């Protein structure tokens, strides 16, 4: 986040529009939390705060865009300004986006609108272009990926809001389990809140240790599953085989292992094709794409499909098939035929 955005809000200088574009959803969450604190009246937030999913706008069962834009002109009831948040802007079609941009340009001075758009790089570029053409570039804030320390801080901030005090090691463990996806991280924090039943912000916060995270955030098998997928995509077959043995001993279902591997490989494929930004990878390291060729990923997916098919057909040696898959697909890189031919 550009330095000074939060400081501006804390000093009482609030912009009419904030447009966050990029993969790091923690950035907009932090700003929304600060705006709520500064703008809304305690206990009456529901009257002056709206949060809308852009994917619902224009649908027959959802709110129409004209109706939403009309709500932007509604004065606050108890707050200094009304706060309206619209998320997942990438789900809005181009025609509706043009109408939406026109509405943003006419936001009254008693309303602040926070817009959040994520998605693939091509979509982000398209959104930037449309906002530029609409003359809204001054409100656009890049959210291209959180630094590790920033994400840790945000996780701890979310936890505090729910009456939990996460130790730094516990925060790191939580990110290891859930990855860097903010939705998954929030889900794990909610799970901790339910399990530990904290007193909330008015009382003393419940301290959350690494042991608490291990006990409540996920089972041991999830740690092993994440390690196995990470090691496979990082092309460390010996370590991956060792982890696979532990998963088998723990009684993990092969179907679940395949269910973790397949999405990770598809994410890797999307990055290699330029359809997804590397910063959005959370099932594997961001260096993993450099260790794979497109044809290798295709082959790995085909082989994994065969393993899955064997499982469906009742093959009882699925772990043996996964062993072979791990060695064949995650071992040494296949030779680049063209390079070899060129050297002859």
Tell me: the pLDDT tens digits for 176-208?
776 666 666 777 888 788 878 765 444 578 899
In the chain, ranges of CATH 1.20.272.10 domains: 222-332
Separation CA 207–CA 35 (nearest Å): 27
Residue 118, both tokens: 């994520």
Confidence of residue 83 (pLDDT cuts 50, 70, 90): very high
- State the architecture of 222-332 in CATH terms: Up-down Bundle (1.20)
Instruction: Give CA 104 to chain center in angstroms.
Output: 26
In the chain, ranges of CATH 3.40.50.300 domains: 5-142
Instruction: Give CA 212 to chain center in angstroms.
Output: 23
Percent of the chain whose predicted confidence (pLDDT) is above 90:
21
Q: What is the mean pLDDT of residues 309-330?
A: 90
Q: Which residues pair with 20 in a beta bridge?
A: 116, 141
Separation CA 257–CA 169 (nearest Å): 27
24 or 204, greater pLDDT = 204
Separation CA 128–CA 117 (nearest Å): 10
Q: Say what the pTM is.
A: 0.50
Superfamily of domain 5-142: P-loop containing nucleotide triphosphate hydrolases (3.40.50.300)
Query: What does the angle CA 5 – CA 6 – CA 10 come to, to the nearest 5 degrees?
Result: 125
In the chain, ranges of CATH 1.10.8.60 domains: 148-217
Residues with Cβ within 8 Å of residue 205, at least 6 apart in sequence:
160, 163, 164, 165, 198, 199
Say if residue 275's pLDDT is above 80: no
Residues with Cβ within 8 Å of residue 29, at least 6 apart in sequence:
154, 158, 182
Q: Which fold has domain 148-217?
A: Helicase, Ruva Protein; domain 3 (1.10.8)
């Amino acid at each position: 986040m550009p330095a000074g955005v939060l400081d501006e809000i804390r000093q009482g200088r609030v912009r009419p529009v904030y447009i966050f574009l990029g993969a790091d959803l923690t950035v907009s969450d932090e700003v929304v939390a600060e705006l709520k604190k500064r703008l809304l009246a305690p206990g009456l937030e529901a009257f002056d705060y709206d949060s809308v999913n852009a994917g619902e706008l224009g649908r027959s069962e959802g709110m129409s865009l004209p109706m939403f834009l009309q709500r932007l002109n509604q004065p606050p009831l108890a707050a200094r300004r009304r706060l309206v948040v619209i998320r997942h802007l990438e789900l809005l079609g181009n025609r509706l986006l043009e109408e939406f941009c026109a509405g943003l340009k006419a936001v009254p001075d008693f309303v602040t609108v926070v817009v959040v758009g994520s998605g693939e790089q091509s979509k982000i570029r398209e959104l930037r272009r449309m906002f530029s053409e609409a003359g809204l570039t001054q409100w656009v804030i890049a959210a291209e990926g959180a630094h590790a320390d920033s994400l840790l801080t945000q996780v701890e901030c979310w936890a505090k809001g729910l009456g939990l005090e996460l130790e730094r090691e516990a925060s790191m463990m939580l990110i290891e389990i859930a990855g860097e996806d903010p939705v998954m991280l929030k889900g794990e924090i909610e799970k901790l809140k339910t399990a530990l039943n904290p007193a909330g912000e008015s009382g003393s916060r419940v301290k959350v240790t690494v042991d608490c995270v291990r006990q409540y955030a996920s089972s041991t098998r999830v740690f092993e599953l994440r390690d196995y997928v990470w090691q496979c995509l990082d092309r460390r077959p010996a370590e991956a085989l060792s982890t696979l043995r532990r998963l088998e001993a723990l009684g993990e279902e092969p179907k679940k292992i395949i269910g973790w591997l397949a999405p990770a490989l598809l994410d890797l494929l999307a990055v290699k094709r330029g359809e997804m930004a590397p910063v959005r990878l959370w099932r594997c390291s961001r260096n993993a794409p450099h260790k794979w060729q497109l044809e290798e990923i295709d082959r790995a997916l085909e082989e994994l499909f065969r393993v899955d098919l064997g499982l469906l057909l009742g093959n009882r040696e699925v772990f043996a098939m996964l062993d072979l898959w791990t060695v064949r697909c995650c071992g040494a890189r296949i030779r680049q035929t063209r390079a070899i031919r060129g050297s002859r």
